[in-house]
Amino acid sequence: MNTTTAPANATLTLNEGFLSRRTWGDWLFALLAVAGALFAFRKYHAAMDGYEQAILAGAVPVVVWLGWFWRPLRNLMLVAAALSLLAIVSYGGDLRRGDTVFWLKYFLSSQSAILWMSMVFFMSTAFYWAGMFARGQAGAFEGIGSKLAWVGVALALIGTLVRWYESHQIGPDIGHIPVSNLYEVFVLFCWLTTLFYLYYEAQYKTRALGAFAMLVVSAAVGFLLWYTLVREAHEIQPLVPALKSWWMKLHVPANFIGYGTFSLAAMVAFAYLVKQQAGETRWWRLTPIWLLGIALCFVPIAFRQRGVGEAGGSYWLGYAIVAALIVGGILLGRRRIAARLPGFEVLDDVMYKAIAVGFAFFTVATILGALWAAEAWGGYWSWDPKETWALIVWLNYAAWLHMRLMKGLRGTVASWWALAGLAVTTFAFIGVNMFLSGLHSYGTL
């Protein structure tokens, strides 16, 4: 009886409709999403053009589908929306209340939330690494690291949403979605990269990769804090004319999904190489780890050579010391780390899926960027340095995927290629801003 019932149940489950599997919580979430969009349209439609109204309408089914597809994401969106609304109500249209209302001053103003995000991401990274080396309590440490990563993402979203509101309160000609400069897009990069990692963590039921994935997020947070300190980049500035376009709302997020997932794939590739060389006793053969150390040490040197603010001062000295400790810890604990990491098949699969997702969104972002350029500057392509390096990034990952799908690229070569891709992506992201100039000079250092 059991042998006949099981296939019948399996068939019934497979044929069951998508909508019929929705719970009352799913439908309540959908209702809240629709109600939120209607409220936003009713209150702010005068400040929107037709394209922006279409984006708002199109965002509703996307948000509902994401909440249904991955339920932790639904909880995240509800928490971020509720606390952002609390901040907006607390402001009451007067930004001066940010200095007198307790939870605004210390938690929910955009700058407070983003500073808390920075600290929480650092703590998450530390707990993930503690899990790597803890004996008997590894799961507990990694569980705390995972929860802190979720809290960091929520704080980043709250900071972004409240900053959007704050910009409109400064002046109607200043208000804009906060993805317009290096400060804002680094926040975007941090939470997008973390969120994609958390999805793969849930899918593959392993938290050991968090130690590597959160390294690149912590590096971005380190830059963000320095940039805030030196440039006072947290100050909201009006948009330059070319950025006053609805294209920005689509192009920039799609672009940074690409950057985030490419960075995640590179850190997974690094984990693959560390696991592969865990038994190597000749230290000069531990190439991936030494290269990480060289790359981390290059950052302070590059900033000093460029004479960017106080780039050669105590901040970057501290950065170099922390980087040296990380590299030393990986070198000394590589066997323990390798034992904690998932198998090579899982690492290879996560790396491939991250690059595939990133390539799809980066392709869309490049097309949107060309359309935006035609509107702003009268031409789809001008071989601007940023455009040229975006093309290099696209060609690099197109070739990686081609070799994967057509030639079965796997393992060591695929990992080295993905790791090299991080260098290309980083230069396209921030190196162009440091060393080159052009039409895309909105985030100069």
- Is residue 441 very low, low, confident or very high in pLDDT (cuts 50, 70, 90)? low
Better-predicted residue by pLDDT, 359 or 335: 359
The region of weakest confidence among 129-143, 194-208, 296-310, 405-419 is 296-310
The region of weakest confidence among 100-104, 241-245, 290-294 is 290-294
Better-predicted residue by pLDDT, 147 or 333: 147
Instruction: Give the separation between CA 226 and CA 233, rounded to whole angstroms.
Output: 9
Average pLDDT over residues 199-213: 94
pLDDT per residue over 156-174, tens digit each? 999 999 999 999 899 878 8
Instruction: Give the separation between CA 317 and CA 319, rounded to whole angstroms.
Output: 5
pLDDT at 223: 86
Whether 444 shows a pLDDT value over 80: the answer reads: no
Whether 307 shows a pLDDT value over 90: the answer reads: no
Instruction: Output the six-digit token pair for 60.
Output: 């509703």
Residue 245, class by beta-carbon neighbours within 10 Å (0-12 exposed, 13-18 middle, 19+ buried)? Answer: middle
pLDDT at 285: 60
Phi–psi pair at 410, nearest 5 degrees? -150, 170
The region of weakest confidence among 29-38, 90-99, 124-133, 221-230 is 221-230
- Is residue 293 very low, low, confident or very high in pLDDT (cuts 50, 70, 90)? low
Whether 124 shows a pLDDT value over 90: the answer reads: yes
Average pLDDT over residues 384-412: 93
Whether 155 shows a pLDDT value over 90: the answer reads: yes
Q: What is the model's pTM?
A: 0.90
